[in-house]
Chains A and B, each alone.
Chain A
Amino acid sequence: MNQLFKTIVIDDEPAARRLMKNLLEEHSDVVEVISEASNGREAIEKIGKLRPDLIFLDIQMPDLTGFEVIEQLDEKPNIIFTTAYEQYAIKAFETFSIDYLLKPIKEERLAQSIEKLKKFGRFNQSIDVNGLQEIIRQFQAPKKATALPIKTGDRINLIRFENIAYLEAQDKYVCVFTIEGQKYLTDQSLTVLAEKLPPVFCRIHRSYIINKEKIREMHRHFSGRYLFIMDDKTSTRLTSGRTYQDIFRSEFGL
């Protein structure tokens, strides 16, 4: 009569997998654990090979997130997420998972999930891939950069945006000047760097990009140019170029 859900437990922590298996013994009439996986890649491989009906899936694993694992599956089993992250506990999950369990896992809560599984669980079900990708997009949203990485030999220096006074192109290099007066060299072009910088940076000259928040004074100069006195240690003076006039004028509301 009742078909058993063949199950794989996926979690990077051995103890968590063990706990889950132990707790599932209570539900051996519904669920049969056939294997376990300790990381995303192993999980994908085993799911492909063993074709389980159900997976208990940890969201945060070192190599891949649970979402990325699902994305790479051809055939999607029923999913119950296990996570310590409360912020993942959102409605959208319900569109393609049976349930989610917060760690540490409660036996009563697990029993509820199993009930849900009995009611809604399908064998060989398919998943709304678009909804999934939307969620991945939400949670994997690229971290907002807060610093400019500058590679010098084998070292990477992170220069935080708020510490950068201005960038100056010199021959083949660009110098990044901090408000403390330190200087970092990079072989990336000013145009490439401009794309990596947040909107507080503004190009005022063929060779200069300045941090708008680090301007101490602005003076009108000859023929529509402007003189900028920067709020750095040496009170650097920079003059805007004529070609960039319109750009920074609109940015400064001049």
Chain B
Amino acid sequence: MKPTQFEVLFFLVLFSTLMLFGGMYLLAKFNRLFKRIRSEFLRKNIVVWMIAICLITATAPTTPDFYGSFLGNKLKIFYPFEWFAATFDSIFVFNISWLVVKYLSRKNLSFRKRMAIILFTIITCSMLTSVPINYLGNKYLGDGASFKNLHVSLLFNFYTGCMIGLIYITMSYVDLARKRKLDEKELEVAKLQQLKAKAELDALHSKVNPHFLYNALNSIADLAVTDGKRARKMTIALADLFRYSINYSDHNYSTIKEEIDMTEVYLEIEKIRFEDQLNYSIQLDQDLSPYLVPRFLLQPVVENAVKHGLKTTGKMTEINITVKNGSDGLQIMVADNGPAFPDELIPGYGVKSMYDKLDLLFPGNYEVHFINHPEKKVTMNIHKLMKNEPAV
């Protein structure tokens, strides 16, 4: 039994509708569906080709040729011809446009200019394809006359090109907007991180051990009566130390000279506090004086050394600070003669603050070692140095 014309038509329209949905689905999901194909070139061509086939099939019933072929019983030629045309068009237009997009992405053009060039490319390519397709179409579907109705075909393809181009531009624009938003967010995160880093540093700056202050004041309370000169010396030293730690919290860096000076002030105070139990020496390579280190890097480390040194009672505590140019950058060594570092070293406030400051200001650019032999010491190596005032 032969189907009626209406039944054939109905079937074709149904088929076209299914292809339309298929094409849309592919368009939405192609990224996930085809990720197995590693080569980008191959993957994109296959996707574009499949979508083109789907959409051409879907739109076939809307073209005038369809009815001509349908009425002239030429559908058997019409569909393969349409598929062939879709294959040819899509591969040709897509690859040329793709090359242009690739080329443009390397040039630093504004979004508008880039989009204009791409639109132009797509339209031109699309119109160019209409020449051979028109020729072949006339030969197989029409009456064989070469280039009959070429102007119509050109106009039609101009229109199609415009449409594809505009879809591309819309998608690019959405992409651009999303990227901008993402960039903004990233910038915000970066800003927050910077703020956090600053807050952390601020917190670190102001932390001269408060007990140190109270203990020192307690000593002054005695010295004021027993030894006025030393009381005065200690008061001035204390003032210097706190001025250094409180007033300059805007600066994250200090010169090595400043740090050493302050460490010396600190050690002077400790020396008065512990009278005959503490001695210190500082060796500073003068060439290094102007280089920058995190502000208040040294004091907590030296305070630790003093504490550890005093642990061994009945013996003079010797603190030895050396700053020199090592084989890989600046080397700061703080040695004391207290008991050795235990293997299971647990960092306290001083060590943590040292790491935090170096992490914030010299990330990935420093090393810290705890050494027991031949001398018990902490060494800090800073590889890349900055001189004087940087842009902080």
Contact = CB atoms under 8 A, between A and B. Distances in A.
Given A12-B274, A160-B355, A105 B373 contact: no
Given A62-B313, A180-B364, A155 B214 contact: no
Contact of A84 (B218, B311, B344): B218
Interface residues of A, number: 36
A60 interface: yes
Interface stretch (B156-164, B188-196, B345-353): B345-353
A183 interface: no
Contacts of A156: 341, 343, 345, 369-372
Interface in B338-370: 341, 343-348, 351-352, 355, 364, 368-370
A13 to B, nearest CB: 5
A18 B273 contact: no
A13 B214 contact: no
A137 B362 CA distance: 38
A236 interface: no
Interface stretch (A37-45, A123-131, A164-172, A221-229): A37-45
B352 A146 contact: yes
Nearest to B275: A14
Nearest to A61: B310
A122 B221 CA distance: 31
Given A62-B307, A156-B370, A160-B355, A147 B218 contact: no
B343 A158 contact: no
B370 A157 contact: yes
B285 interface: no
Contacts of A143: 346-348
Contacts of B345: 147, 149, 156, 158
B154 interface: no
A149 B219 CA distance: 37
Nearest to B348: A143
Nearest to B227: A15
B215 interface: yes
A158 B218 contact: no
A145 B346 contact: yes
Contact of A149 (B210, B311, B343): B343
* Candidate in B222, B225, B275 with the most chain A CB atoms within 10 angstroms: B222
A208 B370 CA distance: 27
Given A16-B219, A62-B311, A149-B370, 19 more contacts: A12-B310, A13-B219, A15-B223, A16-B222, A18-B226, A19-B219, A19-B221, A104-B220, A105-B221, A145-B346, A151-B343, A154-B371, A154-B372, A155-B369, A156-B372, A157-B368, A158-B345, A158-B368, A196-B344
20 contacts: A12-B274, A13-B215, A15-B218, A15-B222, A16-B219, A16-B222, A18-B222, A39-B313, A42-B313, A63-B310, A84-B214, A103-B218, A149-B343, A156-B345, A156-B369, A156-B370, A158-B347, A158-B355, A158-B368, A196-B344
Interface of B: 210-211, 214-215, 217-223, 225-226, 272-275, 307, 310-313, 341, 343-348, 351-352, 355, 364, 368-373
What 5 pairs between A and B have smallest CB-CB spacing? A19-B222, A84-B214, A62-B310, A15-B219, A156-B370
